[in-house]
A = this chain, B = another copy of it.
Amino acid sequence: MTTGQNRTKRATQSDVAALAGVSTAVVSAVISSKPGKTIRVGKEAEKRVREAMETLGYAPNVVAQSLAGGKRNIIGVFTYEAIFPSDSENFFYPFLLGIERGAMQLGQDLLLFTSSSFEQGPRSIFPNGANRMGVADGAILLGEEPDKSELKQLYDTGFPFVTIGRRDTKDADLNWVAADYTTAVSDVVDRCASNGHRTLKFVGATKVREQNMDREAGFLNKQGNGLTLSVERLAADDIDANWLQKCLDDGNTVVLTETFKHAVALEQQVLARHGNIPETISIVALAAPLNRSKDVERWTRISVPREEMGELAVRNLISQIRTPGHTAITATLPCGFVPGTTLTKI
């Protein structure tokens, strides 16, 4: 083993400045060489500074940069749940994939806020009142937020952020990137109709958030045109033999399920009465699990452009950071329709 590492404190701007024989202001200017700068640096000095940085292994202290109001090229990623869940179904993953791609392209590093431990209750953006995210230039918020007032609070601080998924708040003008569920579901209804279906049922989750509203709206948009549409919101467990019987009695030939659980529950009931999908009744899954297991492939379903959403969220966040103060950026990305074997012609 060698003598050990050079344990003197990390090099600072002053160290670099001293070695290069210039002032710290010059070093600072070299690091963040922006166009309309109040302080200019000559070729020669810049070279010396860069050499000094290299020999000292200097890297700016982001925390100090933050305090002083500089740019860090770091964007935060905040989730209310653990970002790397241990159970198989990793909801965040496809988004992260897109986020990483976007970050790479724009030269940003990704800061995951894992520090705000959620020993008691869920994570909070403001654990003991402080916004832990301040070190980043802005943040992308992922997943369900239990506390919408936190969004308002964050908004009020002026910290730039983009949520993935639409967020409506009366008193805040939020940036978000969302999937166009409305159009996607309308499209599904059209496809069903052109397959001969006339009586369709939408079965949704009981917890109603923005995206659930959108799906329902996309469904009900298609009211008329000789179609009979009904909406029902219930827990997947409530889909039992009786429910199915009534559903069939009402003449429904296709059910649009908002969650995969509902789809599976429905199929089970059909199988239980020795029926078949799609012969007994067709199903279109408006949401499907992420892992590409064989069992998912057979479902006729909607696909959500998660990677694209993540990538776009980064781009929009950067726009918001670069030119702050203007109106919110919102984006809606089209979903895909994935043909399977659970929707039939009649």
Q: Which residues of B contact A115 (CB under 8 A)?
A: 73, 103-104, 107-109
Q: What's the nearest-Cβ distance from chain B to residue A209, in Å?
A: 20
Chain B CB within 8 A of A133 CB: yes
* Count class of interface residues, chain A: 35 or more
Indicate if A232 sits at the interface (CB-CB under 8 A).
Answer: no
Contact in complex: B324, A62 (CB < 8 Å): no
Bitwise interface map of A from 93 to 117 toward B, beta carbon under 8 Å scored 1, else 0: 1001100110111011111111101
Considering only residues 49-88 of chain A, those with a C-beta below 8 Å from chain B are: 50, 53-54, 57-67, 72-74, 82-86, 88
Interface string of A168-186 (1 = CB under 8 A from B): 0001110000000000000
Whether A59 pairs with B130 at a CB distance below 8 angstroms is: yes
Q: CB-CB < 8 A to A113: which residues of B?
A: 109
Oligomeric state, in copies? 2
> Is A38 an interface residue when CB atoms closer than 8 A count as contact?
no
With contacts A72-B63, A84-B96 known, is A10 near B110, CB below 8 A?
A: no
Among A62, A109, A172, the one with the most B-chain Cβ atoms within 10 Å of its Cβ is A62
Q: Which of A1, A100, A129, A173 has the most CB of B within 10 A?
A: A129
**Residues of B close to A199: CB separation below 8 A:** none
Decide: B2 and A173 in contact? CB cutoff 8 A: yes
Q: How far is the CA of A86 from the CA of B131 in the complex (A)?
A: 32
